[in-house]
């Protein structure tokens, strides 16, 4: 689809009896503070193209997404979590716009440089780009008081997130829509949802014990929640992505696999989401039974598990409710937050060089 064509009219929301809507919405009382922090991060690091981009960021209502997805966030942790989302949305627009020219080597070099910011002890480093400097400050605020296990898990998921941009760029550059099995794996990484779910523990300051985190049941809950978020995102962002010529979208993948129209594919995605929600609840019930008989868990451990589970549910429902009002998907105006290549290329780097 070209920029001059209008996307088809679609019904992008679940039916009233969909199990996703049975999850009760919860919103942090700190939404306004989060919105202010997000704009302050963008201003302090000069991330945005200008007034239109700043209005776009404000209309994105990113603070609302954070407030809905982290309803238990502690006031002292608002700024750091808001900073990560500011970084994530700007870097997403930079890579979506192929600021790296679709060059795989440059994607790899940018990812490697950004990952060096995630120091093992949560300390800050001297960064070479403004986005890296922002990430360094955010990382210090998020990770300085986290366990080594949390830092390693978050860093691994950030590795996946940054690597996925290259594959999306390759798909976009060749007009390739991936097949379903491979796409389902890529999408969980490309959506940035796995580090976002890790932030549930940073937002409350309470961590699930490492062994409990690796139970089959909690891993299943984590993955089902992640898939609910990214597949719903594929539906609500479809109009914008059709205008932009995006090809890596689950609705398009299912439309090709099924041989039907886009609305049929949207309905199929919501059936897929319903199964993920049901499997999440099944795994949650099993984990509750396991944790009741798990020796060595103290009151703080059980509170951390309860908060994390609450947060996984909040993310599934909160993402949907935020999507209904954000300008990011409802107003496909072609405005990106930044087109400044210096945000992803260090000074003196030559395009196409791989640095």
Percent of the chain with pLDDT over 90: 70
Q: Are 127 and 135 in contact (CB under 8 A)?
A: yes
Residue 1 placed within a domain: no
Q: What is the pLDDT of residue 11?
A: 93
DSSP state of 330: H
Residue 40 placed within a domain: yes
C-alpha distance from residue 265 to each of 72, 183, 262 (Å):
35, 15, 5
Q: Which residue has the higher pLDDT, 89 or 185?
A: 89
The pLDDT tens digits for 289-338 are 999 999 999 999 999 999 999 999 999 999 999 999 998 887 667 788 88
pLDDT, averaged across the chain? 90
DSSP state of 147: -
Percent of the chain with pLDDT over 70: 92
Residue 353 placed within a domain: no
Residue 247 placed within a domain: yes
pLDDT of residue 107 exceeding 90:
no
| Number of domains the chain contains | 1
Q: How far apart are CA 333 and CA 267, in angstroms?
A: 26
Residue 349 placed within a domain: no
Domain that holds residue 302: 30-343
The pLDDT tens digits for 136-152 are 999 999 999 999 999 99
The pLDDT tens digits for 246-277 are 888 999 999 999 998 999 999 999 999 999 99
Give Cβ neighbours of residue 17 (< 8 Å, ≥ 6 apart).
none
The CATH number covering residue 196 comes to 1.10.600.10
Residue 10 placed within a domain: no
Q: Terminal CA-to-CA distance of the chain, rounded, Å?
A: 34
Q: What is the pTM assigned to this prediction?
A: 0.92
Token look-up 């996984």 returns 312
Mean predicted confidence (pLDDT) in 165-179: 84
pLDDT of residue 206 exceeding 60:
yes
Q: How confident is the model at residue 347 (pLDDT cuts 50, 70, 90)?
A: low
Residue 270 placed within a domain: yes
Q: How confident is the model at residue 346 (pLDDT cuts 50, 70, 90)?
A: confident
pLDDT of residue 234 exceeding 50:
yes
Residue 105 placed within a domain: yes
């Amino acid at each position: 689809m070209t920029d001059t064509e209008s996307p088809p009219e679609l019904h992008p929301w679940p039916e009233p009896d969909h199990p996703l809507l049975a999850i009760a919405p919860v919103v942090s009382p700190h939404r306004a503070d989060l919105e202010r922090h997000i704009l302050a991060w963008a201003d302090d690091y000069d991330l945005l193209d200008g007034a239109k981009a700043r209005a776009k960021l404000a209309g994105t209502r990113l603070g609302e997404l954070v407030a809905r997805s982290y309803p238990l966030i502690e006031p002292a942790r608002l700024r750091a979590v808001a900073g990560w989302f500011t970084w994530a949305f700007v870097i997403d627009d930079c890579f979506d716009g192929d600021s790296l020219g679709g060059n795989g080597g440059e994607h790899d070099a940018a990812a490697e440089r950004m990952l060096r910011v995630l120091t093992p002890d949560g300390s800050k480093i001297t960064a070479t780009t403004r986005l890296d400097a922002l990430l360094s400050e955010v990382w210090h605020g998020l990770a300085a008081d986290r366990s080594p296990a949390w830092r390693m898990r978050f860093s691994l998921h950030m590795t996946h997130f940054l690597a996925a941009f290259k594959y999306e760029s390759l798909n976009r550059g060749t007009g390739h829509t991936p097949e379903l099995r491979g796409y389902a794996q890529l999408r969980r990484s490309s959506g940035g949802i796995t580090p976002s779910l890790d932030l549930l523990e940073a937002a409350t300051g309470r961590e699930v014990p490492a062994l409990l985190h690796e139970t089959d049941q909690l891993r299943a809950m984590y993955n089902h929640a992640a898939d609910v978020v990214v597949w719903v995102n594929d539906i609500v962002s479809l109009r914008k992505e059709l205008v932009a010529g995006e090809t890596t979208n689950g609705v398009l993948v299912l439309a090709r696999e099924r041989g039907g129209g886009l609305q049929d594919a949207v309905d199929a995605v919501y059936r897929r989401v319903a199964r993920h929600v049901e499997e999440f609840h099944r795994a949650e019930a099993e984990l509750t039974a396991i944790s009741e008989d798990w020796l060595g868990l103290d009151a703080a451990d059980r509170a951390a598990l309860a908060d994390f589970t609450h947060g996984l549910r909040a993310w599934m429902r909160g993402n949907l409710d935020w999507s209904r009002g954000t300008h990011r998907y409802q107003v496909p105006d072609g405005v990106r937050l930044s087109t400044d290549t210096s945000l992803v290329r260090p000074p003196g780097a030559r395009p196409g060089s791989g640095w």
